[in-house]
Chain A
């Protein structure tokens, strides 16, 4: 089976994180399991407050002061400076260790807003160079050459002239390219993109996504996207993890999620995007709003908004049910003995239409 052959780069097991707030403890992440293979692109999809950002920030050890990891592990595999493969639990490393050994060097992060992650008082060239020179033994000339190479790699025209520009002299799309160039400066193994295109216009968004895909093809980079835009997911992802209220509710290949979704929440998400091919169809909405995690969740957190909720949903939390080795969903509908609930007819029609379109 191919799963075994591929090299695992990141394995998150049973991760649980909570925040202490005025109002009490918020259990933001409630047992997340995820495995990521080298060279793969994973998209984590969810609404605000679903815990998608908290999950990936914990990979880099970026925590707010009131945040606490309750249990779990994040195992990251990479080659150290001598070329030996190592696997380490990132949660057990101190902030200093992470800073020296992991951040930037092996795992890099691209934020939503390029302006906040660039230093407005430094030229973009100097900022990229700073990243390149984090690797020991790189001379100034070599670093400069590498920086120019990176600027070209991220598709900035006339890189040599842009080298001395300041961030405010660039457009939003160009800035995000610079941020990506900085992220790539140390040849990381894993790139995390936190809503990389939300702050950009649609026409620029596609270009940035294609750019990252292109770099992946060239360098074999592993990428995690955090996004709420299903169109973006469709364009870039190999595997998809859908999060709701701090839990993974469905994971699978991109085709599993879009053509064979199993969780009612995923159904709702797919249906709440207007159908470009059938604009007259009524827009489906998931009723209500996401739960407040200040209150302990009994049973399935999605149950109050779920049209297909079962009696057991209000009592017990559903485990992940494996559908295929790669596709799993946490819904009681998949449990033996559950009533046979097909996906909504509107979604069925839409998927059939999409598949027909592909064939055409």
Chain B
């Protein structure tokens, strides 16, 4: 197969397909935490997919299962056409560890305090022997530093000699040097200050445009998710309750949980914000059982987890 047909084929199929992913953690004989319960979505090449939800909704777990920090309990994950959810062959492992990368939440905790920035960024190319000489290694790292907006002299510093925003840029450079097809950004901005958050989000967006990689952007801050994402999935209690384009979710939200989340975003407009009522939602009080619902297509792009009756009720309200 020549490269051209391969590329054509790859363009047609989604980059990542998650089907019925379940990630359960057995805490004791009688108690199992169902962190992720039957979640399905697809990410196309070059897409930014926002995954939102509260703490404990399973959004971080989903990201970690996809990159195989956990072994999924059930479900199928296809990445670049390969099934990466079961036992991995050496070739699949290599695919996963190079073409898929992760950016972590805490810029302090995600960098080894005993390594210099250059060694942190070069870790991936060290492991997979992706350079010929020390000089080439350094050049590759310096190019990455430039790309994420750091100066060459940062290469020889230790993480604690950088500010919070700079540390997160190092984390991004470490992922980027592998030229990944998919970057999983797990709450990559929530530990940063407001003005720094904007810097990092702009950087991610710019990287996506330059390299054409896809990003799975996991966050709880909906305003940032809206700003960066093409597609948004809303997770609640381990279930994907609503999925759609940014417009679908933000302007035509149907699921009461999504609506509650949206209405809870505080807006920086005091005259309006003061007495704006906030929709509340409690799935137990509302008698909603997610395991009973099925995915309904509201449009080509907009999906909703609900029973038939719920769908009728909620769409009428919207």
Binding site for B on A (CB under 8 A): 47-48, 172, 201-203, 205-207, 210, 228-235, 237, 254-255, 258, 268-270, 272-274, 276, 279, 282-287, 289-290, 354-355, 357-358
Contact = CB atoms under 8 A, between A and B. Distances in A.
Contact of B269 (A202, A237, A285, A354): A354
Interface in B245-282: 246, 250, 260-261, 264-274, 276, 278, 280-281
A258 B268 contact: yes
Interface string B142-157: 0000000000000000
Given A202-B265, A207-B280, A274-B224, A47 B270 contact: no
A231 B280 contact: no
Contacts of A358: 269, 271-272
Contacts, number: 120
Contact of A289 (B165, B198, B227, B264): B165
Contacts of B270: 233-235, 237, 254-255, 258
B212 interface: no
Contacts of A237: 270
A272 B268 contact: no
Contacts of A269: 194-195
B164 A289 contact: yes
Given A202-B261, A276-B223, A47 B195 contact: yes
A235 B273 contact: yes
Nearest to B229: A279
A283 B223 CA distance: 11
A290 B164 CA distance: 10
Given A203-B261, A234-B269, A272 B278 contact: no
B95 interface: no
Secondary structure of the A contact surface, majority rule: helix
Given A203-B54, A237-B270, A231 B265 contact: yes
**Residue among B165, B202, B246, B266 with max Cβ neighbours from chain A (10 Å):** B266
Nearest to A265: B195
Interface in B43-95: 54-55
A200 to B, nearest CB: 9
Interface residues of B, number: 40
Contact of B195 (A205, A210, A235, A286): A286
B164 to A, nearest CB: 7
Q: Which 7 A-B pairs rank lowest in CB-CB distance, beginning with the nearest? A: A231-B266, A272-B198, A201-B54, A274-B227, A289-B163, A47-B193, A234-B273
B41 to A, nearest CB: 21
B104 to A, nearest CB: 18
Contacts of A286: 195, 198-199
Contacts of A270: 268
A272 B197 CA distance: 8
B267 A276 contact: yes
Given A230-B266, A268-B195, 7 more contacts: A203-B280, A203-B281, A254-B270, A274-B224, A276-B265, A289-B165, A354-B271
B288 to A, nearest CB: 15
A357 B164 contact: no
20 contacts: A201-B55, A201-B220, A203-B280, A207-B280, A230-B266, A231-B265, A233-B268, A234-B268, A234-B269, A234-B273, A258-B269, A273-B198, A274-B223, A274-B224, A276-B265, A276-B267, A283-B198, A285-B199, A287-B199, A357-B272
